[in-house]
Amino acid sequence: MCGRYAASADLAELVEVFDVEADRHDEATASILVNPQSPPAGTPDWNMAPTKQAPVILTRAMGQEPVRQLRLLTWGLVPSWSKDVKGGARMINARAETIGEKPAYARALAARRALVPAQGWYEWQVSPSATDAKGKPRKQPFFIHRGDGALVAMAGIYEFWRDRAVADPDDPSAWVVSFAVITTAAEPGLDRIHDRQPLVLEKQDWQRWLDPALTDPEGVSDLLEYADPGRFAAYPVSRAVSSNQANGPHLLDPAPESDLVGVVDPSTGEIIG
């Protein structure tokens, strides 16, 4: 997964689809962005990029009971032991095959699992036959989404990082709450676009994945291996999405065939253009 997705659903829709019990998207935590987020966090974003704050579903105790919540978290995991937040932009994905072995991810896998809602994600296909103006293989972005039109529930993990420069631990600016998306091997067809894809879970598994009382990673090991080929459809889109400044629903429009050069059809393997 290259690192872009469409988080364009309205928050009220997320509350309904994911059976959210407490909408906490307006409870601020520190942002690691230098400039204000655009579009603002919590509003539809058709080009969600690392270091932005994005809607995430998680379950944590409120009082004595676990409660499923909607919150805005920073994309790019910052481990609690990090000296600073700089590495977060690089830790946007965690490989399902090795997540339990990595110090940066293992504790979060055991106790802080989440779902990351999306309309779908973008992936860049490296052309086997066409080059760009610099002589490098041409890259064509694709949008990948569920064929049934439902929202994608990407498996994720999250972490808390304390900014020691802020004296008051109750100050929202003292905490960066960040997440990473778990990835797995791409299924047949999608592997013609990229060799990785997000780990997407089905509704019947959401409760177990989010359960904070399930702290033995073996209890979710089967979900890390989950695969159900055929759920997704993919089509090429405008190369405009490659700029993290681009945004809007037009990014999901299919690219006209006349714009395609050396693009491999993921369904047939044929080269277009």
DSSP category for residue 206:
H
Which is it for strands 232-236 and 271-272: parallel, antiparallel or unpaired? unpaired
Q: What pLDDT does 123 receive? A: 97
Amino acid sitting at position 68: R
- Output the CATH code of domain 4-120+151-230: 3.90.1680.10
Q: What is the pLDDT of residue 1?
A: 64
Instruction: Tell me what the mean pLDDT of segment 56-78 comes to.
Output: 94
Q: Is the peptide bond before 39 cis (omega within 30 degrees of 0)?
A: yes
Tokens 């998680």 belong to residue: 58
Burial class (CB in 10 A: 0-12, 13-18, 19+), 71: buried
pLDDT tens digits, residue range 145-159? 999 999 999 999 999
What is the pLDDT at residue 87? 79
The SS3 assignment for 73 reads strand
Share above pLDDT 70 across residues of the chain, in percent, rounded to a whole number: 100
Give the pLDDT mean for 250-273.
Answer: 96
Summarised one tens digit per residue, pLDDT across range 169-205 is 889 889 999 999 999 999 999 999 999 999 999 999 9
pLDDT over 90 at 88, yes or no: no
Return the sign of the alpha-carbon dihedral for residues 168, 171, 173, 179. Answer: positive
Which amino acid does the sequence have at 145? Answer: H
Whether 183 contacts 1, CB under 8 Å: yes
From 98, 116, 114, 117, select the one nearest 106 (Cα to Cα). Answer: 98
| Averaged pLDDT, 114-125 | 98
